[in-house]
Amino acid sequence: MNFFEQELRNLAGQSDTLADPRFVGRACYGRVSDNIRAKLQFVTMGYADHYEALKVNLINNTEGEIDSSIIRFKDAWGIKPSDNPNFKDGVSPHIWTYNGNSEWYGYTPTPADYEVLAGEVDEYLELFSEDMEQENGQTMM
């Protein structure tokens, strides 16, 4: 199991909306409703090997990609305190890959952090779930 898969497992384990998660390489796929799947993966935001966000793609089984959203760790968790003297003002959480090894840089998320990030993912996924469709009495396209 690679680092990215382990981190996605930590996140998927906290999600209330993502069902039947499957892990393939650096991505997590899960069911949102009968016809909609989600793909979660860590992404860079302009710096190579500096993964500072989670991208969530929504995929319709027959029509392809419906929508996507990027959740930046800094937006979900804010600046985090660090014991490292190089980060006196705190650190913006991100995963850093160097020489083929990946790890959290300057701050390692806590179970509470994963819960917050999973809550952000769930809030987005719920927009496309069948429960939301039924509450509104209409079918999403």
Closest by CA to 41, choosing from 51, 49, 32, is 51
28 with 54: CB under 8 angstroms? Answer: no
Average pLDDT, the chain: 90
> What share of the chain has pLDDT > 70, as a percent?
91
| Under 8 Å between Cβ of 35 and 61 | yes
- In this predicted model, which residue has the larger pLDDT, 84 or 135? 84
How much is the pTM? 0.87
pLDDT, mean of residues 53-57: 98
C-alpha closest to that of 22 among 34, 39, 47: 39
Residues 83-94, mean pLDDT to the nearest whole number: 88
